[in-house]
Amino acid sequence: MKLSQQVDQLNQQCLCFPLQRQLFLDYLTDKLPSLSDTLSTRDHLFAGTGILVTQSDVNSMLDVIKAVEALVKLPRYQSFIFSRSEVAAFWQNQSTTGLLMGYDFHISSDGPKLIEINTNAGGAFLASPVQVAAQQVYPGCCDFGPLSFPDSGTGNTVLTNMITREWQSAGKSGRPATLAIVDDDPVNQYLYPEMLLAREALQEIGVTALIVDARELAFDGTDLVAHGTGIDMVYNRSTDFTLTLPRNKPLADAARRNAAVISPSPKHHALYADKRNLIEMQNQSFLTRAGLPVEHQSVLKQHIPDTTLVTDNNADQLFSNRRLLFFKPINGYGSRAVYRGDKITKRVWQHITANDYIAQTLVPPSLRSVTESGVEKRLKFDVRIYTAAAKPLLGIARIYQGQTTNFRTAGGGFAPVYSWGPGPHSALPSSDTMCGYECNNIIPDRGMICPLLQSSRP
């Protein structure tokens, strides 16, 4: 049995690394007591367990990120992308690299598959304390250790350093004096606690941070202003990716006059997150013309599911094969208006063919056993790698039930990731030693052979 299969078996059959959600709540409210009321209304923000992956799969995910980042830098790729969008083309000379990219993967039997890339990926300021808090409870076992990346740092330092680098990439020095975290109706966003944590982290390093609705911004021709405060930098979480809606006119106007650093911007979304890009990332002739090295081409071909644009010419064939496909709007976000092919009705199909959609080969997510209210169940999960300036920062899993990731699943939510590989994490000096993390209660009851220890339990 391959190691990846053994780890998949552990995920599905072992209740190791059990975590109490109260652990995360206590950790966060200790850092920021005012979070208590906000977190109390979000029952499914944190999962009840960790996720197990192989270091080989982690390395493959990092190879995909390297390949995408290498492609995005190529002039011919950029020229092609900007030729599709006049709005994005306006931003192409912007020197920033984008804040908090999210590379989302499903772990398949054939290795990790890149499902999509997000340029306003939420959750990083929650993912960081999840990993830190989990490490305090389970620093490692059976050669599983908390997922981390060399030289990325720890805790919120990773994220505040990222914002400083982004500011400096725009030709600025030091740090911004003021930063606005901008979203649509931020107080009512499910991830509002993350914005509060981001504000607190920034204020700790001397940056005045505000959380504002885009409608609360004004541009007076010289300065971008919110509540009477001039704004130097915007952490843009809006899902108006082109900044063309009326509510975002102050943002767009300020950018045109170089009055504020805005990131992520329409440039970043066009280069990374437009779902049509996944088609070109598999197009060998396009990649060769763009100048992408062969080794990067091979990585993208292996780890991106087959993707095509839905058109009048292929609609009938795609509908016939729909049970093997997943359909997404090209500029979608937050799992909105996405459809598994086997769930599609004729009405939904009419909607898909009347709008701009891609069809992607379905890659079923892996499963993880959790216990909720004393009942064991298996839930789905994906793995998200957060990056900035082409550098991996954090990894987190999202456990859920249903068609797509959500925060409505009992037992689901953000989960720490533990990777397996020979190293300093082993808590088992011999195969005769019980793990201690619930395994001595679970494995004997099932007569299992631990796929890593390869030793029967009595």
DSSP per residue over 72-116, as a string?
HT-HHHHHHHHHT-HHHHHTTT-----S-EEEEEEEETTEEEEEE
Describe the chain by its helix, strand, coil percentages, rounded to 5.
Answer: 40, 25, 40
Reported confidence tier of residue 299, pLDDT bands at 50, 70, 90: very high
| Poorest-pLDDT segment among 23-27, 61-65, 138-142 | 138-142
Q: Does residue 418 belong to any structural domain of this protein?
A: yes
Same structural domain, 217 and 343:
no
Same structural domain, 352 and 203:
no
Q: Does residue 32 belong to any structural domain of this protein?
A: yes
Average per-residue pLDDT for the chain: 87
Same structural domain, 236 and 314:
no
Tell me how far apart the alpha carbons of residues 200 and 131 are, in angstroms, rounded to a whole number. 18
Q: Does residue 224 belong to any structural domain of this protein?
A: yes
Name the residue range of residue 135's domain.
Answer: 3-290+364-427
Measuring CA to CA, how many Å separate 90 from each of 79, 266, 277, 352, 401?
12, 9, 19, 29, 40
| Poorest-pLDDT segment among 107-111, 157-161, 419-423 | 419-423
Q: Report the range out of 13-17, 143-147, 353-357, 406-410 with the highest average pLDDT.
A: 353-357
What tokens does 2 get? 């391959």
Measuring CA to CA, how many Å separate 307 from each of 273, 295, 324, 388?
14, 20, 12, 25
Reported confidence tier of residue 1, pLDDT bands at 50, 70, 90: low
Helix (H, G, I), strand (E, B) or coil at 332: coil
Q: Does residue 422 belong to any structural domain of this protein?
A: yes
Provide the pLDDT for residue 278.
97
Same structural domain, 263 and 375:
yes
Cβ within 8 Å of residue 300, ≥6 positions away: 64, 67, 68, 71, 281, 282, 287
| Poorest-pLDDT segment among 11-20, 104-113, 137-146, 272-281 | 137-146
| Poorest-pLDDT segment among 150-159, 402-411, 437-446 | 437-446
Same structural domain, 206 and 317:
no
Same structural domain, 66 and 26:
yes
Provide the pLDDT for residue 441.
36
Same structural domain, 161 and 250:
yes
Percent of the chain with pLDDT strictly greater than 90: 60
Same structural domain, 354 and 249:
no
For 355, other C-beta atoms within 10 Å of its C-beta total 12
For 171, other C-beta atoms within 10 Å of its C-beta total 10
Same structural domain, 32 and 96:
yes
Q: Which of 361, 377, 398 delimits the end of a domain?
A: 361
Provide the pLDDT for residue 458.
30
Are 416 and 123 spatial neighbours (Cβ–Cβ below 8 Å)? no
**Strands 178-183, 233-236: parallel, antiparallel or unpaired by DSSP?**
parallel
For 452, other C-beta atoms within 10 Å of its C-beta total 21
Where are the alpha helices (H) located in 214-371, listed in sequence order?
249-256, 266-268, 277-280, 284-290, 294-303, 315-320, 346-354
Q: Which of 361, 383, 398 delimits the end of a domain?
A: 361
Same structural domain, 225 and 163:
yes
Please report the DSSP string for 400-417 in residue order. Answer: E-SSS--S--TT-EEE-E
| Average of per-residue pLDDT across 66-92 | 91
Cβ within 8 Å of residue 224, ≥6 positions away: 180, 217, 218, 230, 231, 234, 250, 251, 254, 259, 260
Tell me how far apart the alpha carbons of residues 26 and 180 are, in angstroms, rounded to a whole number. 27
Same structural domain, 43 and 97:
yes
Are 134 and 416 spatial neighbours (Cβ–Cβ below 8 Å)? yes
Provide the pLDDT for residue 447.
41
- 34 pLDDT more than 50: yes
Q: Does residue 413 belong to any structural domain of this protein?
A: yes
Strand-pairing partners, residue 116, are: 104
- 448 pLDDT more than 80: no
Q: Does residue 299 belong to any structural domain of this protein?
A: no
Same structural domain, 230 and 348:
no
Listed residue (289, 307, 428, 303) closest to 361, CA to CA: 307
Q: Does residue 432 belong to any structural domain of this protein?
A: no
Helix (H, G, I), strand (E, B) or coil at 325: strand
Assign residue 337 the CATH number of its domain. 3.30.1490
Tell me how far apart the alpha carbons of residues 84 and 62 are, in angstroms, rounded to a whole number. 28
Q: Does residue 443 belong to any structural domain of this protein?
A: no
| Poorest-pLDDT segment among 150-159, 182-191, 359-368 | 150-159
- 424 pLDDT more than 70: no
**pTM for the whole thing?**
0.91
How many domains is the chain partitioned into structurally?
2
